[in-house]
Amino acid sequence: MRLAVDLVSVPSPTGDEQAMGERVRDELEDMGLQVQWQEVEDGRPNVVGLWEGAGGGKSLMFNGHMDTSYSGREPWLSGVRGFQPDGFVQDGRVYGLGISNMKGALACYMEPDGSFPAHEPNPLLEENRRFVVEKVLEEQADLGIAWDGDADRCFFIDDTGRFVDGDFLTAVLAEHLLAKTPGADILYDARASRAVPDTVRRAGGTPHINRVGHAFFKTRMRDEGAIFGGEVSGHYYFHDFYNADSGTIPALLILEKLSVEGAKMSELLEPYRSKYFISGEINSEVADQQAKMRELEERYGDAAISHIDGVSIDYDDWHFNVRPSNTEPLLRLNLESLVSPEHMEEKRDEVLALIRS
């Protein structure tokens, strides 16, 4: 990934802007970034850095006097890292300055429209994220981000156009946050891949499995003092955000992660996708949900069985969770194999046949 930066020399009675501008230029060049030194633009006397926008315009990197805006290497460069990817597609609403002029950015559906003319505002459904997948591939973007209707859920498309499952994103975010807060507690829901607790333990944290739902997550976050919690459905909770879920914070953290690691999203996900083979959530209409779950327990009575949320059946090399819908006569199945995609499909079909019999 590459970032092209224009720096502007700003006349100053003290000369601080000139000296600090040269320092920024040298640091950017040390990072291997392309830097072009320019004269100050008319009518913009306090601009220190300009960013070449996707549409040919320029966005402020930061403005104001350099000697008050730039206080050291790391604070400033962390801002650069946050926008380092060349390609960045957004499907949803973003409120902020300069977002549409970011280098390589393509912002879509920026005008609020409560009728949602393009598609239903639920990117968890494949048909609703098809647009952003196509745009990522068309623009050869490094990342696609889609929010739901009220922007409390955040979903990602990797650089190959593949959807990022919430289990794996929870694992990536947990690892990133544990590097900042070693030994912390992390929450994950009963549907999730074993990738989450495995990653948390490997990163030195303590994983806690939890019942699905924001009320249960917020309470447990507070009780455990957890720094982060993730649900398969795209809800991500943060201690520093009053234990509430946010759709904005995950987007910023993933941009930071990609920039700090210098990796593509598909590269971060490959270790998970090649080891943990997940079915995704599959719904089945069932007249008597409780009776069917009891039947599943009897059929798989030699497994480890728990009832944190619905019924979870655990074997060493595969497991599944079945939970009832609160509003519809449905059972929701999430299954994972640690053997192979074919083994996952075999077990998925086996369990579904029992559920639907």
- The model's pLDDT over 209-267, given as tens digits with 9 standing for 90+, comes to 999 998 999 999 999 999 999 999 999 999 999 999 999 899 889 988 988 888 999 99
**What fold does the segment set 88-157 form as a domain?**
Alpha-D-Glucose-1,6-Bisphosphate; Chain A, domain 3 (3.40.120)
Record the tokens describing residue 217, joined without a space: 């997550």
- The yes-or-no verdict on residue 93 having pLDDT over 90 is no
Q: What is the mean pLDDT of the chain?
A: 77
Residues 251-308 have pLDDT tens digits of 889 988 988 888 999 999 999 999 999 999 999 999 999 999 999 999 999 999 999 9
Q: How confident is the model at residue 128 (pLDDT cuts 50, 70, 90)?
A: confident
Least confident of 73-82, 179-188, 261-270: 73-82
Which range, of 99-108, 136-145, 280-289, 346-355, averages the lowest pLDDT?
A: 99-108
Q: Is residue 334 pLDDT above 70, yes or no?
A: yes
pLDDT attached to residue 40:
45
CATH fold group of domain 277-356: TATA-Binding Protein (3.30.310)
CB 323 within 8 A of CB 309: yes
Flag the least confident range among 55-59, 253-257, 270-274, 314-318. Answer: 55-59
Cα end-to-end span (Å), the chain: 51
pLDDT at site 147: 87
pTM above 0.75, yes or no: no
Above pLDDT 70, what percent of the chain? Answer: 69
* 66-75, 96-105, 138-147, 322-331: which is most confident: 322-331
Note the pLDDT tens digit of each residue in 155-176. 999 999 999 999 999 999 999 9
Give the separation between CA 323 and CA 315, rounded to whole angstroms.
18
For 321, list phi and psi in degrees, rounded to 5: -125, 135
The pLDDT of residue 105 is 52
Asked if the domains 88-157 and 166-262 are classified in one and the same CATH topology, the answer is: yes
Each domain of the chain, given as residue ranges in start order, spans: 4-80, 88-157, 166-262, 277-356
CATH number of the 166-262 domain: 3.40.120.10
Which whole-number Å values give the CA distances from 197 to 103, 143, 185, 194, 252, in the listed order?
A: 36, 25, 11, 6, 23
pLDDT of residue 135: 86
In the chain, the amino acid numbered 15 is: G
The secondary structure element, H or E, covering residue 277 is strand 277-278
Can you say whether the dihedral through the CA atoms of 206, 210, 213, 215 is positive or negative? Answer: negative
Q: Rounded CA gap, 190 and 338, in Å?
A: 17
Of 323, 318, 296, 173, nearest to 237 by C-alpha is 173
